[in-house]
Amino acid sequence: MKFNDLENSLKRLQASHHSNSIAERLTIAGALLDLTSQYIQQLSTELNESGTTAQRRKAKERETATDPKPPVKPVRVAEPSKPKKPKYSGNHAPSARR
């Protein structure tokens, strides 16, 4: 069904709102709710499947793609050395002669 046909049918249904009994209006409302629920569920399923398919395709591309850059070599870090004591020559006391 095309959207224009559906829109026209809904407008006719809305126009005949007052001529229908309450029981008929409840039946129509229930049918519209059921149809809407089923339609949303179908769309949700289709969207999930297409998303899953796209994810699978992208993962496969990542697996088979070549890396444009060579792998980076790991950096070696030297072990810290013990701090050396300073070497003093002569007398550096404040009372020493200059």
72: pLDDT strictly greater than 60: yes
Secondary structure letter of residue 72 according to DSSP: P
| Predicted confidence band of residue 20 (pLDDT cuts 50, 70, 90) | confident
9: pLDDT strictly greater than 60: yes
- Provide the sign of the torsion angle of the four alpha carbons 51, 55, 61, 67, taken in this order: positive
The whole model's pTM is what? 0.48
pLDDT tens per residue, range 33-56: 999 999 999 988 888 777 787 888
Overall average pLDDT of the 14-39 stretch:
91
